[in-house]
Amino acid sequence: MEENHQGRFIPLVLHGSWSDGVFFVWGESEEPAPKPRGRRPRVLPHPYAASPDCLRQALEALAPSGDWDGIPETKRVILLPSGDNSPLLPPWLITEAAAADTKVEPQLAPWKVTGLALDALSALDLLVTLPLHGSETRRWGADLRYWGLVAKVALEILAQHKYLPGLEESEGQYRAVWLPVTDNTQDRARLRALAQAMPPVCRALFTTDNVQTDRAPAPRELLDAFVKQVIDRTVRDWGRSRLDRRRRSPLSVAAGAWWPALWNDDGTIAVPVAQRRELLHMFDAWQDWMGQLRGAADVGFRLCFRLEPPEVDPETEQVVSSDWQLRYMLQASDDPSLLVPAEQVWSARGSTLRVLSRKFENAQEHLLAGLGMAARLFPPIMASLHTARPQACRLSVDEAYAFLREVGPLLEGSGFGVLVPPWWNKPSARLGVRAKLKADASIVGQGILNMNALVAFDWELALGDEPLSQEEFQRLAALKMPLVRVRGQWVMLQPEEIEAAIAFWEKKHRQDQATLRDALGMALGAEQEIGGLPLQSVQASGWLDD
């Protein structure tokens, strides 16, 4: 609800979408817009479009910290479902004249609207304030709600530092830009889902009266353009006050000009005419590097690593070999469940690998190229490249532990697929402690129950839900291995957890009493660790359990 010039509050629905480099904000009001004078225009103005002043008041109410008075006005033509005389309005804005149009079959019709042209930073200031749910959401249209969700995704990309400095070329001119890096499976899936969920009204804005629906931007094209611009403008704004743009670059003239261009407003790289060829070589080198970074994302599949534990005799449950296996395979970018083992890749004839209804072009080349890149991050892979057709590499237990803890996430962040055993990162694979609470029944009978009453504890080490005796723990610790198999499952024994467990046996097991207040705090999850070990469970009995 916004206040008009007469002091009366009128209903208002805000709209907005990314259009030709600006975020265009407009609104629908219950109050009719002034009728134009003179000749009938080719495209009629929206009869219920909110005035720019009304829009500024609405933005001020939503985001008071923004400078909305200086936002320029602009016009767009928008395709909207319409009746004979006007666009169809939301139910809570329908007037008597507009209500008559709801009785006819709606058709798409163009309408000219005047709105505000927000740059990417101003758009971000507005969109992050919009809640995704609640009764207030009826105050803005589906387009604005959609871009509010996209803006929050862009903030996640910024917070996770998923962006890189880069270059752009257009008609022989080069610009320094900041580009989002969204090559992992989760980011690609989320952006694909966002593009599919884009409301049609987001693509219905045009800059000319000659409206042609086949010229409307594709959803993914529009989404990528907005996210890219938000990332670029925000990083420039944040870095401008934190980094010294004047520092001299020890690199070439082109690189020295590229650095300050990353922080100025338009990103233009200014180099003398004599150094234009050097800038061209720099751009080509950057394109080659980005091509390697994107890797499988551009070809529909990527290299994937699957860590497999040593073989176990099914009858004796004894480990047959101490070596772990890191197997190589190709993984479809749009279907992570589609995995092709390296041996199947090498057995393919020709340059095309066919799996089910899918085609993998130049699969063998991409497999080798990916292994070469990954070997720089994990040297054990390099040894397998001495064979003509590498399929896997053997790992010691320490190398497998390093892969699980450090290398796997690093490879995943670099665009590779990583599959680890299902027990990894589960509580059952870690050493912890459990507590059993025993309360004296006479306390309740004597009527002396209070929060300072003492409760008896039985402490024990545990692997998941299984208790671990001191003797069993000592045998495991004597192995001095970070990954051990206990009672049919693999578990992780970190050096700091072993030290904490030794201290636990020396101290905690002698502390067999605590106050009822402390006992209830542990049972309700107020304490997450005991002596540096995760508290996995607290069991109570009798009246204390009740």
DSSP 8-state assignment for residue 274: G
Exposed / middle / buried, residue 63 (Cβ in 10 Å: 0-12, 13-18, 19+): middle
Q: What is the mean pLDDT of residues 428-457?
A: 61
Q: Which region among 89-103, 181-195, 291-305, 404-418 has the lowest average model confidence (pLDDT)?
A: 89-103
Tell me, what's the pLDDT at 20? 92
3-state secondary structure of 189: helix
Nearest to 392 by CA among 364, 371, 414, 415: 371
CA distance linking residue 546 with residue 172, whole number of Å: 77
Q: Cα dihedral angle (507, 511, 517, 522), rounded to 10 degrees?
A: 50
Any alpha helices (H) in 309-463, and if so which ranges?
A: 342-346, 363-377, 380-384, 397-402, 408-413, 441-445
Query: Does 225 or 471 have the greater pLDDT score?
Result: 225
CA distance 45 to 68: 24
**Terminal CA-CA length for the chain:** 52
399 vs 425 pLDDT, higher one? 399
The alpha carbon of 4 is separated from its chain's Cα centroid by a whole number of angstroms, namely 41
Contact in structure between 330 and 363 (CB atoms under 8 Å): yes
Is the pTM value of this prediction over 0.75? Answer: no
Residue 377's CB is within 10 A of a number of other CB atoms, namely 14
pLDDT, tens digit, 9 for 90 and up, residues 282-312: 888 888 777 665 554 556 788 999 999 888 7
Q: Which residues contact 519 (CB under 8 A, 6 or more apart)?
A: 437, 455, 457, 538, 540, 544
Pairing of strands 107-118, 73-82: antiparallel
